[in-house]
Amino acid sequence: MTGIKAFGGYVPRYRLSRAAIFAANGWFAAGLKGLARGERAMGSWDEDTITMAVEAARDCLGERAREAVGRLTLASTTLPFADRQNSTVVKEALNLPDGIAAFDIAGSQRAGTSALLDALQAGVGSDRDLLCVAAERPKSRPGSEGEMTNADAAAALLVGKDELAAVFLGGHSVTVDFVDRFRESGEAFDYSWEARWIREEGYGAIVPEAIAVALAKTRLTAAQIDRFILASPMAGVSASVAKKAGIRAEAVVDTLGGVLGHAGAAQPLVLLSHTLERAAPGETILLAGFGNGCDVIVLRTTGLIDAARPRRGITGHLADRKPIENYMQYLAFAGLLELEKGMRAELDQKPVLSALYRERKTVLGLVGGKCRETGTVQFPKSPLSVATGVRALNTQDDYPLAERPARIISYTADNLTFTPHPPSFYGGVEFDGGGRMMAEFVDLDEAGVEVGMPVHMVFRIKATDERRHFTKYFWKAAPERGTTLNAATAAAAVAAVD
């Protein structure tokens, strides 16, 4: 028997007002006025599919031993690299063991559910846990409907055979070349077909039939479904499909369209993670993923669901939001507007790939060193310990720092150094238990930073080699605004936006 052991998610802190989008484009696309309510999640300039996947996976894994993970899958249609395994970068950032398998799964809006269904089925023959992550940062043409409805987000689920928070009851897949949207290799934006056709012949015909087969396989009736999850950027689709499938209206899960938006292939897993955060033991959940067919996954929560809840989850990230009304800032952060960067940005960012390989634990995993003789912690790790008055050579063991709390010990606000989000805040960070490093500070409020402020480390884009199109990643420090945000707090935030 397999199922879900843990779950988590990530939503960028910035939330772009849809009214601001319409204010900028309404002169051209007046028909968007009906969508100009609520907000959508918006990544910062230094976030992409990989960084969001890392944060979702960290939220899911918590303090679990990384050695127990035997496989990692990353599902997305907006992967940064076409010929570099994106899931491998996620693996390095999570400090997972080298002896695991890693896969990228793409090419369909149901890539997330396909990855999860595969993990649940493959878990039967595995003696180690399987980590399934889905992340998406879709680009939308300015003035389009997708610009209003799309979102940036990620979710992660840990699949295994023991200590299950939700048991896998069964599933079903239908694969058919129903083209509701497509994007040719090398193109930036999706092309979408007519909405009524997609709603009636796609969701309305394909999904209910797949649900019926899945229910027959699991020997359940539609009336036994407590929570029905179907992600769609079109309002009312999940309720319409539920009615056709015979599922009770009160079982339909909110798609979070008003407060989050639609995160493509990641959205079904985002909604599943959000649902599990609020589910009680003994609930039957049916998840459907649509795109070139349909995946259906049926789960039942257990008495361990409460213990499996993540540190923050989708609930916590929804509550921790920073409204954005500046449409131009959104365009710049999304890479849709090229601003004049000035001479200080004219620095060749050519990567040294041999050094990256040798120091991948340091750079991607934020692994320092701890001296066996003195207990001194340092970053980066080196043959010679920095312990005062001791000549300790080759005495350091690996010491991961990414999950350790830290505080700011010094800072600078620099208006001269180039950054896509000026001013550039950086300074010294000291970790609980020892170890110091210089770091950039991100996700700041208007008050900025101060000495002594608690921070946690986040995986972000450090720089981009624009000549060779290579993205460099490193760790930055973000203010610690609390690790547990309960459902009541998130519900209040949702109600405020609605």
- List, for residues 283-318, the tens digit of each pLDDT value: 999 999 999 999 999 999 999 999 999 989 999 999
Mean pLDDT confidence for 420-424: 91
Helix (H) or strand (E) holding 431: strand 424-431
369-378 burial code (b ≥16 CB/10 A, e <16): bbbeebebbb
Could you give the CA distance from residue 292 to residue 203 in angstroms, rounded to a whole number? 11
- pLDDT at 486 (0 to 100): 44
Helix (H) or strand (E) holding 296: strand 293-301
Question: Cα torsion for 449, 453, 458, 464, to the nearest 10°?
Answer: 30
Q: Checking phi first, is residue 245 left (phi over 0); if not, alpha (psi -120 to 50) or beta?
A: alpha
Integer distance in angstroms from the first to the last C-alpha of the chain? 41
- List, for residues 150-209, the tens digit of each pLDDT value: 999 999 999 999 999 999 999 999 999 999 999 999 888 999 999 999 999 999 999 999
- % residues pLDDT > 90 (the chain): 85
- pLDDT at 388 (0 to 100): 82
- pLDDT at 482 (0 to 100): 66
Give the strand pairing for 191-192 and 293-301.
unpaired
Q: Which of 12-21, 65-74, 343-352 has the least mean pLDDT?
A: 343-352
Distances (CA, A) of 228 to 105, 192, 222, 241: 24, 25, 10, 10
pTM across the whole model: 0.94
The answer to whether the CB of 287 falls within 8 A of the CB of 202 is no
Q: Domains, the chain, ranges and CATH? A: 3-333 (3.40.47.10), 404-498 (2.40.50)
Could you give the CA distance from residue 240 to residue 137 in angstroms, rounded to a whole number? 27
The answer to whether the CB of 302 falls within 8 A of the CB of 166 is yes
Could you give the CA distance from residue 253 to residue 238 in angstroms, rounded to a whole number? 8
- List, for residues 341-354, the tens digit of each pLDDT value: 887 777 888 889 99
